[in-house]
Amino acid sequence: MTGPHPATAATRLAVRRVLQECSPGDLVLAAVSGGADSLALAAAVAFEAPALAVRAGAVVVDHGLQPGSAAVAQRAAGACRELGLDPVEVVAVAVDPAGAGPEAAARSARYAALDRAAGRLGAARVLLGHTLDDQAEQVLLGLTRGAGGRSLAGMPRVRGLYVRPLLGVTREQTRASCRAEALEWWDDPMNEDPAYTRVRARRALVDLERDLGPGVAAALARTADHLREDADLLDRLADEAAAALGPGPWEAVALLDSPRPVRTRVWRRLAVAAGAPGGQLATRHTDACDALLTRWHGQGPVSLPGGLRATRSGGRVSIAAPPPVE
């Protein structure tokens, strides 16, 4: 008896491993865009869930960023229903690209919609269709930004409700699986627009595979796995060090007890706890804070996002909003 196409078998196995972590009766939702990655994910979920007594549904987010997006969302929802997923919801969101830019704004709107849907439906997991290629592109973007280890660690397999089963499956495998299962996917034209940083990273990765030989994407994804283990350990150590410091002001010598890779993470935690927006804190901010310890020569306060200042006085450092001007 002929089994499934190898690409379909790979997606199903990846999804099965996630669903085996669920309890019978749990509801899992596939986040579906209509592209090959998410449709292959949805098909694998629909196939694997019944054998494990897991309920399986889907949420399709319509970002409304281009003409015909509502029709695309409805077609994706129809495909999910034909696969046997239930419930299947289409959620329209408003994306405000001002400030953060269209990519970040769309991502924020999408996750907010998925959060609401998961809460409303009582989902135990939301599965995302990011692939090995997406992971490699994420690492490549981190390298170009000169980001730290956490950024180079790429996307985590699990974060709260969200799980990415396909991080070991390639984009071509999801397309091959859709072809084998006679699933028609939608190619988002924004994925070909070089105005978007991720599209340029995708093209650069294709060039690297051509010039350096196949396997670059897989190597970058493996690098992310290794770095994530290191970053997780450093984060745990930073959590412990920040908790041990207690409320500020803090003795400079107490902060200096931690190695620099831990200390910079501690600075980030102290700043966020004081009210700094985490998404706006950059390496330059934590480096400037650390200079209050390692290169102290009586310099003035360090400006931080959220209208905060890090200051040193009398051997102690603090992070707070400046006093109001009278």
Does the pLDDT of residue 191 top 60, yes or no? yes
Query: What is the fold, at CATH topology level, of the domain defined by 6-219?
Result: Rossmann fold (3.40.50)
d(CA 252, CA 292): 8
Among 107, 120, 20, 32, residue whose Cα is nearest residue 77: 32
How many whole angstroms separate alpha carbon 119 and alpha carbon 113? 10
pLDDT of 116: 95
Q: Is there a shared CATH topology between the 6-219 domain and the 246-320 domain?
A: no
| Residue 296 clears pLDDT 70, i.e. is over it | yes
Token pair listed for 16: 């099965």
Judged by DSSP in three states, 62 sits in strand
Which CATH number does 246-320 carry? 3.30.465.60
Domain-wise residue ranges, the chain: 6-219, 246-320
Tell me: the pLDDT tens digits for 56-79? 999 999 887 788 889 999 999 999
**What mean pLDDT comes out for the span 133-159?**
82
Q: Is 33 assigned to a binding site?
A: yes
The pLDDT of residue 117 is 96
**Residue 318 counted as an annotated binding residue:** no
The first and second tokens of residue 232, run together, are 């997780």
- In 3D space, the residue among 147, 232, 172 whose CA is nearest the CA of residue 11 turns out to be 172
Q: Is 36 assigned a ligand-binding role in the annotation? A: yes
User: What pLDDT does 178 receive?
Assistant: 97
108 is in an annotated binding site: no
Rounded to an integer, what distance in angstroms lies between the CA atom of residue 87 and that of residue 162?
A: 18
pLDDT score recorded for residue 239: 95
Distance CA 304, CA 314 (A): 21
What's residue 81's pLDDT? 97
Q: Decide if pLDDT at 161 tops 90.
A: yes
246 is in an annotated binding site: no
**Average per-residue pLDDT in the chain?**
90
Band (pLDDT 50/70/90 cuts) for residue 256 is very high
In this prediction, residues 9-25 reach a mean pLDDT of 97
Q: Which two tokens stand for residue 257?
A: 């007890």
Neighbours of 68 (CB within 10 A): 9
Report the alpha-carbon distance of residue 124 to residue 112 in Å, rounded.
Answer: 16
* In the predicted structure, residue 237 carries a pLDDT above the cut 90: yes
Token digits of residue 244: 């041990």
Q: How far apart are CA 177 and CA 171, in angstroms?
A: 10
